[in-house]
């Protein structure tokens, strides 16, 4: 049963399982106690800290264990922000950080008024070191940058940004959740966070490294454990399993990275050949070895996941219909790429080549099946009839002159599609259906209250070589204007 | 190897081990994902929540899993305090709560200025419902009371205090960490917290129940998991093991409680017969079935733990010398009982009777050995010579007239013992050594800078039937004055 969602959580590595089971007998006692059971637990904890610190590339006394990667991020960010309060309250983050970073920044802003500066990314999802440098201000107390993106796999220029931060005296926190299993994070970072279940370790273990010299003041109620940086009774069997499996995956990482990168390259190359109207997203070279993401025009992401699941493939998606908030992934938004029909494939270590080949066999039929059900336009052109509820006359009234340059003579050259109340990918499908009906130079205006339209209509224009004119507020939604240029 | 420290952490219950191992294969995926692995993990999580909620006595949607009991306490307290900010910022706690409660209250006070009111306890460690009621004020947003004390085993009148709180409209948080394995908490509590590794579940799992209707506003960065009340990726195998083992220990609880209570009664009765100068602390009847605590006069707690460990018994202690802060346990202080030579015995389920009997055989020799090494007075009287550095003349000067009623004629009837710089139990040993040298009506003043003396000198007076006059500030420490009355 092919599981292609390692970036959410990887299956337990055999070494993690062995270490967990072996330490259940020795690791259950309180390591703060003086008795032999406590001392034994303490020895296991010390050994795990040494092993994990070596893999991270820090001193053991710089590393604490937390109950999750999220806890590591929260504790790391709040500790630096409290410790450097005199410098200022500003936080700089990339726009494509994991939600744990963005939510911690937002909570900090809400509680203290400290401004959050988001550094934009390019179409591949990467920040530019110069842009990052420009986002650092006098009052910036903390900068955050992931080592690699969790949704599209793009590696960030961490070493360059760390150098920029160092020269400005701003500590850089690197969220290495997606990359630590593949290798240490290079560069002069100040804090690093990670999560064991992403590399095949057990749930319940995060890592927080804080370099000596970083001003750090733990927040929240006092607790002596883990240098006062992570409260609560330590889960030593899980910590032992996390450290052991990190060493194990690192030993296999170089060879496995080459193998998986070849499989991912195959997916990146073949999917656009096999499936029409697909956009592969993320950087073509500077990326994680095991992760690839693409989006399919005219496809409902949830239906696609469901059909792939029926075909035994487990993947995830950043489409709006697969999120509880019905908004597309903030990563795809920041990149400005198509979000509908989004599929993230992240291969666990050991994924057989045959599973990838079978996926490539299955995918075209699955996508075309979903498109058919939705009545999507076939092929790569527009075509199809205007749906009854998308007639121009009824809704043209409330919409302001969309193209601004269109005079009265052009009225017949424009159409309005009312997709209010319809969810992704319907607004884009409706646009495509009527688009052939306006002459070159004419416009189609799509009325939509679906957040995904803001991303997907411009993306459609890019894929189709048509002109995206812009958006305007409209009754109950937004009017998106597209001009036919060919 | 007898392990008598279940109250710190219990050995893993066989059912917990089985459930953990069984769910490692099914519980590693992200339960928020739509694919089959995610759905399977979600089903395990749902089933564990139902089982745990039934054992707690709440609805499944009132219960969330946290990474530890400490996290449950922190999240529960901060959530109520944020949710009821309009009512006020006051917190009422018993003086003998677990440090996680007291530290969270202190952090709240430091951050918001909300006053913490500590409810005193009697000599058994129990609060009185009336005293608790008096401690509730107009601005009290939250009340906290443990179900039973973790150091001395005394059960608190939770149902009565819950009724008081209900009538005053104040939510009561019950820390049930020590008792939940023995049975549900009775009464109209509003929040309940617990910790799986205390009942033989794995580390990494706490419970937080919040009754419907309690105003609750989670603090910290937003996170969708666990109803927004506990961030981070859930540790599902550990959660499954926690729920399964809670059911298992509950099934055995009634019979095991009777059996362990008999063993604890034996310890309570025999220790004072076998070892001179011992004070058994905690309530004689209203107490946990498996926990008993006593203190031994003239004994260094760390040396005692070390010698018991050499004799294969693992226990813990609230003595000052066994804490990193070199202060006696706040529980013993609040109770006003002897803290030196303190031993807490907490029997895990299944403890064989023979282990308890062997402990009773070993203990007298261990205690007398430690006392001998310290040069403690033998038997239950005073006796022994004054040590050179405890001569009266040198240090009588800076001490104010200790008994206030003593005139010039009484000067020869008083002695001063300089125990500055000496740690527990030396100040009490020095007091005992010289005590026979003053006539009835005379006083001994002990100069000490050891925090334990404040507790142990009055306790010595109580055990010896002598009069504790009081304390006064002195150069570099405190002067404790004792009058000989027999």
Quick: pLDDT tens for B213-248.
Answer: 999 999 999 999 999 999 999 999 999 999 999 999
- Average pLDDT of B184-204? 98
For B475, half-sphere exposure in the C-beta direction (CA atoms, 13 angstrom radius) is 7
Environment class of residue B459 by beta-carbon count within 10 Å: exposed (0-12), middle (13-18) or buried (19+)? buried
Q: State which residue of chain B sits closest to A203, comparing Cα positions.
A: B235
- Average pLDDT of A12-19? 97
pTM for this model (two decimals):
0.93
Nearest to B436, CA basis, from B376, B375, B384: B384
B64 contacts: CB under 8 Å, gap ≥ 6: B207, B208, B210, B226, B227, B229, B230
B398 contacts: CB under 8 Å, gap ≥ 6: B474, B475
A34, A107, A324 ranked by CB distance to B220: nearest: A107
B17, B36, B309 ranked by CB distance to A34: nearest: B309
- Length in residues, chain A: 486
Q: What is the pLDDT of residue B410?
A: 54
Instruction: Give yes or no for a contact between A194 and A231, defined as CB atoms under 8 angstroms apart.
Output: no
Q: Which residue bears the tokens 């339960």?
A: B31
Residues 213-232 of B with CB under 8 A from A: 220-224, 231-232
* Tokens matching residue A21: 């089971």
Among A325-329, B84-88, B135-139, the minimum mean pLDDT is found in: A325-329
Q: What is the pLDDT of residue B115?
A: 96
pLDDT in tens, B130-177: 999 999 999 999 999 999 999 999 999 999 999 999 999 999 999 999
CA distances from B465 to B389, B457, B462 (A): 27, 12, 5
- Average pLDDT of A358-375? 96
B74 near A CB under 8 A:
yes
Is the per-residue pLDDT at B377 higher than 80? Answer: yes
Q: State which residue of chain A sits closest to B322, comparing Cα positions.
A: A34
Please, what are the domains in chain A? Answer: 14-249 (3.40.640.10), 257-374 (3.90.1150.10), 388-483 (3.30.110.40)
The whole-chain average pLDDT of chain B stands at 93
Report phi then psi at B357, rounded to 5. -65, -40
* Tokens matching residue A481: 């204007």
B359 contacts: CB under 8 Å, gap ≥ 6: B2, B4, B267, B313, B345
Q: Which residue bears the tokens 């007239």?
A: B401
Residue B415: how many other CB atoms lie within 10 Å: 23
Environment class of residue A138 by beta-carbon count within 10 Å: exposed (0-12), middle (13-18) or buried (19+)? exposed
Strand partners, A367: none
Q: What is the pLDDT of residue B384?
A: 34
CB atoms B314 and A33 under 8 Å:
yes
Contacts of A8 in chain B (CB under 8 A): 29-30, 33, 38
The whole-chain average pLDDT of chain A stands at 93
Is the per-residue pLDDT at B203 higher than 80? Answer: yes
B103, B235, B305 ranked by CB distance to A221: nearest: B103
Contacts of B232 in chain A (CB under 8 A): 67-71, 206
Strand partners, B146: B175
CB atoms A223 and B100 under 8 Å:
yes
B111 near A CB under 8 A:
no
Instruction: Give yes or no for a contact between A448 and A475, defined as CB atoms under 8 angstroms apart.
Output: no
A10, A17, A206 ranked by CB distance to B24: nearest: A17
Closest CA–CA distance from residue B233 to any residue of chain A (Å) = 6
User: What is the rounded distance in angstroms from the CA atom of residue B48 to the CA atom of residue B234?
Assistant: 12
- Average pLDDT of B373-387? 59
Closest CA–CA distance from residue B482 to any residue of chain A (Å) = 34
CB atoms A8 and B33 under 8 Å:
yes
Is the per-residue pLDDT at A389 higher than 50? Answer: no
Residue B412: pLDDT band with limits 50, 70, 90: low
The sheet carrying B467-474 orders its strands as B414-418, B443-448, B477-483, B467-474
Is the per-residue pLDDT at B88 higher than 60? Answer: yes
Is the per-residue pLDDT at B31 higher than 90? Answer: yes
Comparing B61 with A394, which gets the higher pLDDT?
Answer: B61
- Average pLDDT of A448-467? 96
- Give the largest CA-CA distance in chain A: 91
End-to-end CA distance of chain B: 45
B110 near A CB under 8 A:
no
Q: What is the pLDDT of residue A377?
A: 86
Residues 237-296 of B with CB under 8 A from A: 237-238
Rg (CA), chain B: 25
- Average pLDDT of A48-58? 98
3-state secondary structure of A54: helix
């Amino acid at each position: 049963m092919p599981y292609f969602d390692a970036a959410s959580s990887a299956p337990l590595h055999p070494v993690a399982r062995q270490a967990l089971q072996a330490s259940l007998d020795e690791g259950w006692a309180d390591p703060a106690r003086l008795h032999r059971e406590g001392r034994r637990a303490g020895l296991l904890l010390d050994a795990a800290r040494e092993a994990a610190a070596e893999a991270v590339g820090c001193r053991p006394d710089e590393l604490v264990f937390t109950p999750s990667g999220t806890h590591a991020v929260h504790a790391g960010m709040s500790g630096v922000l409290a410790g450097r309060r005199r410098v200022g309250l500003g936080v700089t983050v990339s726009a494509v950080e994991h939600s744990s970073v963005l939510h911690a920044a937002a909570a900090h802003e809400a509680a203290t008024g400290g401004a959050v500066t988001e550094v934009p990314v390019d179409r591949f999802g990467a920040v530019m070191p110069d842009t990052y440098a420009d986002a650092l201000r006098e009052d910036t107390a903390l900068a955050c940058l992931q080592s690699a993106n969790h949704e599209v796999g793009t590696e960030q220029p961490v070493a360059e940004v760390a150098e920029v931060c160092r020269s400005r005296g701003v500590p850089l926190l690197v969220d290495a959740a997606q990359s630590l299993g593949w290798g240490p994070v290079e560069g002069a970072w100040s804090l690093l966070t990670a999560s064991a279940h992403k590399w095949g370790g057990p749930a319940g273990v995060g890592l927080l490294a804080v370099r000596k010299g970083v001003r750090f003041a733990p927040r929240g109620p006092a607790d002596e454990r883990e240098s006062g940086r992570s409260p609560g009774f330590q889960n030593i069997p899980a910590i032992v399993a996390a450290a052991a499996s990190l060493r194990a995956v690192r030993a296999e990482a170089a060879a496995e990275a080459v193998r998986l990168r070849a499989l991912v390259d195959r997916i990146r190359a073949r999917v656009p050949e096999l499936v029409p109207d697909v956009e592969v997203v993320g950087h073509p070279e500077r990326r994680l070895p095991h992760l690839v993401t693409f989006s399919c025009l005219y496809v409902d992401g949830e239906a696609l996941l469901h059909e792939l699941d029926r075909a035994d493939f487990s993947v995830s998606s950043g489409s709006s219909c697969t999120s509880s908030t019905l908004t597309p992934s903030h990563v795809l938004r920041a990149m400005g790429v198509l979000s509908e029909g989004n599929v993230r494939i992240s291969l666990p270590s050991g994924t057989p080549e045959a599973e990838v080949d079978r996926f490539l066999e299955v995918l075209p039929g699955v996508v075309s099946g979903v498109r058919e059900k939705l009545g999507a336009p076939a092929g790569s052109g527009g075509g199809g009839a205007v749906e009854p509820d998308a007639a121009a006359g009824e809704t043209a009234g409330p919409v302001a002159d969309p193209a601004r340059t269109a005079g009265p003579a052009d009225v017949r050259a424009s159409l309005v599609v009312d997709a209010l109340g319809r969810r992704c990918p319907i607004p884009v499908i409706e646009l495509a259906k009527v688009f052939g009906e306006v002459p070159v130079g004419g416009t189609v205006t799509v009325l939509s209250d679906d957040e995904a339209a803001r991303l997907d209509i411009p993306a459609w224009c890019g894929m189709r070589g048509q002109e995206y004119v812009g958006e305007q507020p409209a009754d109950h939604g937004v009017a998106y204007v597209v001009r036919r240029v060919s």
